[in-house]
Amino acid sequence: MIQLQQNFLRCCSKKAITQVIMELSQSNVHVKREAKSLPNGDEESTIKKIRLLLCSVQFLSMFLLVVEHTGMPFLVRATNKDKAFLPTTCVFFMEIIKMTICSCVIFYSSGSPTGFLQKMHSTLWVNRIESLKVSVPAFAYALQNNLYYIALGNVDATTYTITYQLRILTTAILSVVMLKKEISVCQWGALTLSGIGVILVQMDVLSTHVKSDGGVKWLGILATIGMCWTSAFAGVYFEKMLKGGNSNMFVQNLRLSIMTLLFASCTMWTSDGTKIMEKGLFQGWTRLVWTMVILSALGGIVVSAVMKYADNIKKTYCQTLSIGLTAMISVLIGERLLTVNLVTGVTIVMVSLAAYAFYPPTHPPATPSNNLSKTREYERFV
């Protein structure tokens, strides 16, 4: 009897929420029509949109990503003073920590050990085809890491950084092709400006780190361009997996961590197997190293949240904004001088960010059929 009452209340709540959404969507159309005659209509709707954005999961995840990417370079620099630890072990344990966090969340949502085991069996074995699909971005990320060493081994840091900014455009192109995302002409211009801004921000630092020895320059440039495409493909592909189907974000992260852990373990034993056998996995580890690894694992989950609730283009913008903020903080603490390139680059990034946000593609006015499809989509989510 209690179960029937709960089901009845849940059904009623769904219908009530659905009705509210329908009324809100219809009233939204009505407000937009009246906004043309009311001078304050656009201003009030803009304020409401800003309030909703600030309270959304999308904004929170993007904010955390900017904070994490801004602070991480300083933490990595502090841990690299001794360089006694092995970076490959950090990547390995970062994936283990991320996998543990995702497993704990899944266990909590399952409600019981039996439910957790059933969920894991369903995730890893019954839906093993979905698990194998995650190996595609995992392999792409592994390929990207190898291309990184080839690129920096054959071109100077300036050429690498300038060429690697193409990833902003490759991410946008693949988002249009694979996710059918609409991007306005102004947004394409904003994306291009963002890449130019990052180049200016990093130009002063890169000018003091030019590679002196030779190398196969065309090979380095091709490797960098390959990184742009593999990075964009892996991100957009994983975004499609997060937003498609009924899979949970933590379930998909667990699958990705398992696949990435296989590649990380192979790299660790191939590169540093002898050192690990001599001094162990945790040689040179300090509290700062542990902090860096844990925050990196949490950052990976935040990146997935940005992909799910926003998109890869906004994720790239968060990373771009973090570069500018890191540079400004470096000026404040005396690690870097304030230059024209730095100020100009940060300004361009901020302008491009505003242009991308305020000039989205235009859409036709909402119709009852569109409202109904949105309502059905919400019902599937609930």
Asked if 169 and 316 touch (Cβ cutoff 8 Å), the reply is: no
Euclidean distance between CA atoms 244 and 258, whole angstroms: 20
What is the DSSP annotation of 79-147? HTTT--S-HHHHHHHHHHHHHHHHHHHHHHHH-SHHHHHHHHHIIIIITHHHHHHTHHHHHHHHHHHHH
Residue 211 carries which side chain, given as an amino acid letter? K
Pair of tokens at residue 21: 């959404």
SS3 sequence, 324-350? Answer: HHHHHHHHHCCCCCCCHHHHHHHHHHH
Task: From first to last of the 382 residues of the chain, give the pLDDT tens digit.
Answer: 444 444 444 444 444 444 433 443 443 434 334 444 444 555 566 666 666 665 678 888 999 999 998 888 888 878 877 678 888 898 899 999 999 999 999 999 888 889 899 988 888 888 888 888 888 888 888 788 778 878 877 877 667 777 888 888 999 999 999 999 999 999 999 999 988 888 888 776 655 544 445 567 888 889 889 989 998 999 999 988 888 766 688 998 898 888 888 888 988 898 889 999 999 999 989 999 999 999 989 998 998 899 888 888 888 888 888 888 888 888 888 877 888 888 888 888 888 888 888 888 876 544 444 444 433 433 333 3
Contact 242, 252 (CB under 8 A): yes
Contact present, 189 and 355 (Cβ < 8 Å): yes
The pLDDT value given to residue 364:
52
What pLDDT is recorded for position 1? 44
Q: Residue 50's pLDDT is what?
A: 64
pLDDT reported for residue 34: 41
> Is the distance from CB of 171 to CB of 230 less than 8 angstroms?
no
User: What does the alpha-carbon distance between residue 245 and residue 241 come to, in Å, rounded to a whole number?
Assistant: 7
Q: How far is residue 48's CA from residue 53's CA, in Å, rounded to a whole number? A: 9
pLDDT at res. 214: 55
Spatial distance between the Cα atoms of 194 and 92, rounded to a whole number of angstroms: 33
What's the rounded Cα separation, in Å, for the pair 231 and 303? 13
Type of residue found at 7: N
CA distance 324 to 319: 9
CA distances from residue 5 to 11, 19, 41, 162 in whole angstroms, order as listed: 10, 21, 43, 62
Can you tell me the distance from the alpha carbon of 123 to that of 136, in angstroms, rounded to the nearest whole number? 17
Contact partners, residue 295, CB within 8 Å, separation at least 6: 68, 71, 72, 75
Q: What span, in angstroms and rounded, lies between the C-alpha atoms of 88 and 83?
A: 12
Cα 102 to Cα 335: distance, rounded to the nearest angstrom: 37
**315: how many CB neighbours lie within 10 A of its CB?**
23
Alpha-carbon span 241 to 315, nearest angstrom: 16
Q: How far is the C-alpha of 218 from the C-alpha of 227, rounded, in Å?
A: 14
Query: What are the Cα distances from residue 119, in Å, to 82, 103, 104, 123?
Result: 43, 10, 12, 6
pLDDT at 12: 46
Q: What is the pLDDT of residue 189?
A: 92
Single out the residue of 374, 60, 379 nearest to residue 246, CA to CA. Answer: 379
**pTM of the shown model:** 0.72
- The token pair at 80 is 């690299």
What is residue 321's predicted lDDT score, i.e. its pLDDT?
Answer: 85
pLDDT for position 172: 92
